[in-house]
Amino acid sequence: MRVTTAFNRLLRLDGVNVVDVVFGIGVVTVNVVLKRRRLVCPHCEHSSSARYDTRPCPSRWRHLDLGVWRVEVQATLRRLCCPTHGVVVEAVPFARPGAHLTRDLDDLLAWLATRMDKTAVARLCRVSWRSVGRACERVVATELDPGRLDGLFRIGVDEISWRKHHKYLTLVIDHDRGCVIWGAKGKDAKTLDGFFEELGPQRSAAIEAVSMDLGPAFLKSVTAEGHAPQAVVCADPFHIVKLVGDALDEVRRDLWQTLRRLPDPRYANDFRGSRWALLKNPEDLTDKQAAMLTSLKRTRGGIWRAYEMKEQFRAIFAGDLTRDQAGVLLDAWCARAQRSRLPPFIKAAKTIRQRRDIILNAIEHGISNGRVEGLNTKVRLIIRRAYGFHSAEAALALVMLGAGPITLQLPHERTPVPTSPPK
């Protein structure tokens, strides 16, 4: 068997024939020629039989390693005159436009980036860590389903921090499919406006429900004219209950600071370790935490009133109440919180009254950001594991790879290796 025939079968590159193989120092250079005669624009579907000229130097692409050998594919390409994009170098079927890596290596790097950190990927595949980020962006740009925004009825919106110093991504999740369908840098109303601009008025009018946190930015964008003002906006129960839990924790911290300043340290020592006894659900308490809670109940005072209000508020979201029943209990809870003389609860009650309608919408329709928070946990794990990203675009590409509507196939899955030797 000739070496060119062997490398044709080994590399299995689409649309090319191997014409020469050169073994260098640690590098195998594989020279190929395109099978097709027509020239194709890399940016659109335009093709032509007329060439503008031929590049004076060959183009090179890094391919999957062959054992300890680096493999580089080399081809002399022509240029064509595209009526839309001008004079461009013709596209090749085995690599994405503008890439110096083959499609197989791009896909492998993107798959590995969702499962290990970039430093390890770069060392394993012998590429720079910037190449890993660019490969992820290219894969998402070409493999992301263009119809992912069709048929949206129930969506969730949330922001996630991808880097320190308040750097956020806004993510939109489809509740019915359970995946991230859109993302952008930032977390304000203008950021979400970009989603509705891409969605268009016709598809925006089909949205029935939107779940979100209690922030005003996303609510402003959703209810804007031409977006989805007809949609039922549901406040996420997790964020609502968390708001009251934070108020309880603030009361606890104030009491702790007061007890620490007393001359007798015994009271502060007795109160130590009460945080999780107060914040956890009663059914999840350990024996020690349950004993701590019993001790706090005997002492009464503001901390016990705050705990009772937290549990009463949590019971409203148990799922067994109608909208009217929940509305009555919610109003009664806000009235008690306003009379509690506990500033954190007074502030929480004010916020809950302002968001009363969207809170009751969540209870009536049973929609929450639980799926969104679950995906956010997965996203945080991916971002933390693949540390080293210096751009929101690379981080967003990784999010779409790990939690978006992309089914990434490895090279051997796309074109299976023959089970029998060629004749």
The CATH number for 230's domain is 3.30.420
Residue 419 in domain: no
- DSSP reduced 3-state for 154: strand
Please tell me the least confidently modeled range out of 43-57, 99-113, 242-256, 354-368: 354-368
pLDDT tier at 204, thresholds 50, 70, 90: very high
Q: What is the DSSP letter of 52?
A: S
Question: Is the separation of the CB atoms in 318 and 366 below 8 Å?
Answer: no
Of 94, 122, 154, which residue constitutes the final position of a domain? 94
What is the spatial distance between Cα 315 and Cα 241, in angstroms, rounded to a whole number?
A: 10
What is the spatial distance between Cα 271 and Cα 296, in angstroms, rounded to a whole number?
A: 8
Vertex 149: Cα angle to 145 and 154 (nearest 5): 130
- Specify the pLDDT at position 116: 82
Residue 239 has pLDDT above 90, yes or no: no
Residue 190 in domain: yes
What is the spatial distance between Cα 152 and Cα 206, in angstroms, rounded to a whole number?
A: 7
Vertex 173: Cα angle to 171 and 179 (nearest 5): 115
What is the spatial distance between Cα 10 and Cα 5, in angstroms, rounded to a whole number?
A: 9
Residue 30 has pLDDT above 90, yes or no: yes
The reply to whether 231 and 241 lie within a common domain is no
Mean pLDDT of the chain: 88
The reply to whether 213 and 72 lie within a common domain is no
Residue type, 363: I
Average pLDDT in the 396-422 region? 75
Please list, in sequence order, all residues whose beta carbon lies within 8 angstroms of the beta carbon of residue 37, skipping any fewer than 6 positions away: 49
Residue 391 in domain: yes
pLDDT tier at 328, thresholds 50, 70, 90: very high
- Specify the pLDDT at position 6: 92
Positive/negative CA dihedral, 51, 52, 58, 62: negative
The string of DSSP codes covering 409-423 is: PPHHHHSPPPSS---
Residue 383 in domain: yes
- Specify the pLDDT at position 407: 80
Residue 73 has pLDDT above 90, yes or no: yes
pLDDT tier at 388, thresholds 50, 70, 90: low
pLDDT tier at 417, thresholds 50, 70, 90: low
Average pLDDT in the 84-113 region? 93
Condensed to tens digits (0 to 9), the pLDDT of residues 329-353 reads: 999 999 999 999 999 999 999 999 9
Query: Between these two residues, 398 and 18, which has the higher pLDDT value?
Result: 18
pLDDT tier at 324, thresholds 50, 70, 90: very high
Backbone φ and ψ for 173, nearest 5 degrees, come out as: -120, 140
Buried b (16+ CB within 10 A) or exposed e, 395-406: bbbbbbbbbbbb
pLDDT tier at 422, thresholds 50, 70, 90: low
Residue 382 has pLDDT above 60, yes or no: yes
Please tell me the least confidently modeled range out of 157-171, 257-271, 374-388: 374-388
The reply to whether 201 and 265 lie within a common domain is no
For residue 344, what is the enclosing H or E element? helix 343-354
* Residue 27 CB neighbours (<10 A): 12
The reply to whether 134 and 166 lie within a common domain is yes
Residue 67 has pLDDT above 60, yes or no: yes
- Specify the pLDDT at position 130: 84
Residue 423 in domain: no
Residue 216 in domain: yes
Average pLDDT in the 90-119 region? 90
Query: Between these two residues, 253 and 409, which has the higher pLDDT value?
Result: 253
The reply to whether 24 and 89 lie within a common domain is yes
Condensed to tens digits (0 to 9), the pLDDT of residues 260-269 reads: 888 888 888 8
Please tell me the least confidently modeled range out of 53-57, 77-81, 138-142, 157-161: 157-161
pLDDT tier at 421, thresholds 50, 70, 90: low
What is the spatial distance between Cα 348 and Cα 362, in angstroms, rounded to a whole number?
A: 18
pLDDT tier at 386, thresholds 50, 70, 90: low
Average pLDDT in the 377-401 region? 74
Condensed to tens digits (0 to 9), the pLDDT of residues 184-194 reads: 999 899 999 99
Of 94, 110, 125, which residue constitutes the final position of a domain? 94
What is the spatial distance between Cα 344 and Cα 347, in angstroms, rounded to a whole number?
A: 5
- Specify the pLDDT at position 216: 87
- Specify the pLDDT at position 62: 96
Average pLDDT in the 14-29 region? 93
The reply to whether 197 and 243 lie within a common domain is no
The reply to whether 79 and 105 lie within a common domain is no
The reply to whether 242 and 232 lie within a common domain is no
Domain count along the chain:
3
What is the spatial distance between Cα 402 and Cα 377, in angstroms, rounded to a whole number?
A: 12
Vertex 233: Cα angle to 344 and 161 (nearest 5): 65
pLDDT over 90, % of the chain: 51
Domain containing 300 equals: 237-365
Q: How many CA atoms lie within 13 A of 40 on its CB side?
A: 14
Residue 311 has pLDDT above 90, yes or no: yes
The DSSP bridge pattern shows strands 232-235 and 209-212 to be parallel
The reply to whether 88 and 216 lie within a common domain is no
Average pLDDT in the 365-369 region? 76
Please tell me the least confidently modeled range out of 74-78, 203-207, 285-289, 298-302: 298-302
The reply to whether 373 and 356 lie within a common domain is no
Average pLDDT in the 390-401 region? 80
Residue 400 has pLDDT above 60, yes or no: yes
Question: Is the separation of the CB atoms in 92 and 77 below 8 Å?
Answer: yes
Residue 95 has pLDDT above 90, yes or no: yes
The reply to whether 203 and 313 lie within a common domain is no
- DSSP reduced 3-state for 157: strand
The reply to whether 164 and 67 lie within a common domain is no
Please tell me the least confidently modeled range out of 93-102, 297-306, 414-423: 414-423
Of 71, 94, 117, which residue constitutes the final position of a domain? 94
